[in-house]
Amino acid sequence: MDWRWWKRWVRQEKCAFSLENPTMTQSKRPSSIVAFEMVMYISMVYGGVITLLKAPEVDEKVRSIYTSFSILVVLPLTLLFVLLIARGRRNWAKWGYVMIYIISAPSTFSQILSDLKSSGITEVLIAVQVLVQTALLFLLFTPASRNWFKKDANA
């Protein structure tokens, strides 16, 4: 595959990050965005571990669907949103991620509350992950983050 288009695109500064120089925008990014990105990566690994721990608790047919969906859909989609938000500086990705979170929150919280009654360790781990991700959403709306997401790069 010919990657020259990527180099031209990066040289024209149409993207906010570069494979050749990944620190190109590091100094410009607010600490809240850097923290969001780092903790989201940790949360995704943590979520993968939870998926593997929770898999034996469900029957075999559901386990294969649950694990496959988590690994093949949820993880890459989350990674894409984190990269577009933290490195790509895409405001639409921020709002898209927030909307997905809001739409999925009621079912997630009701599932956590019903599962916590069984007091299993995986339920507690899931609750911690959801609380951390909820707190991370607030980092996207700090004054420094809002200014960073504005279209004018010099703002």
pLDDT tens digits along 113-140: 776 666 677 777 888 888 898 899 999 9
Any domain includes 24 = no
Cα separation of 114 and 123, whole Å?
A: 9
DSSP secondary structure, 79-121, as one string: HHHHHHHHTT--HHHHHHHHHHHHHHHHHHHHHHHHHHTTT-H
Number of folded domains that form the chain:
1
Residue 6 resides in a domain:
no
Residue 38 belongs to a domain: yes
Q: Is residue 148 part of a domain?
A: no
pLDDT mean by block of 10 residues, the chain; 155 residues = 56 48 59 93 86 67 65 84 92 92 81 69 80 91 91 53
Distances (CA, A) of 81 to 3, 41, 52, 108, 117: 23, 11, 23, 19, 32
Domain contains 131: yes
Q: Residue 46 sits in which domain range? A: 30-138
Whether 14 is in a domain gets the answer: no
The model's pTM is 0.70
Q: Is residue 82 part of a domain?
A: yes
